[in-house]
Amino acid sequence: MTTLIKDGFLLNPADWNKDIAKKLAEYDGINFLTDQHWKVIFYIRDYYNDFQSVPPVFKICSATGLTTMEICSLFSKDTIRSACRIAGLPRTTKNFINFNVRGFGV
């Protein structure tokens, strides 16, 4: 059984898999994860595994070929928080410091 904490983040990020990602997306009102969603999700996961922090938006854009506006349209009102939640990242304050996309963020 997967347990969520505040804001719908996983209690244990090691529990993450694609099926859980789909359920977390539903939490944010996203009924279907497209190839573009997965590009962002896997890039964020890989970056986090390498650097233990959320990648800057410009790196996500560069790596995925998506614009900031396209990324904003893929995820919910809390664009990056939503993407990180769906990607199974842990909820830590340092992940979201200085991270603001078009008025979204903490």
What pTM, to 2 d.p., does this model score? 0.83
Q: What is the pLDDT along the chain (106 residues), one digit of tens a residue?
A: 678 777 788 888 899 999 999 999 998 899 999 999 999 999 999 999 999 999 999 999 999 999 999 999 999 778 888 999 999 998 865 555 434 433 333 2
- How big is the CA angle at 1 (ends 86 and 78), to the nearest 5 degrees? 20
At residue 58, the 3 state secondary structure works out as: helix
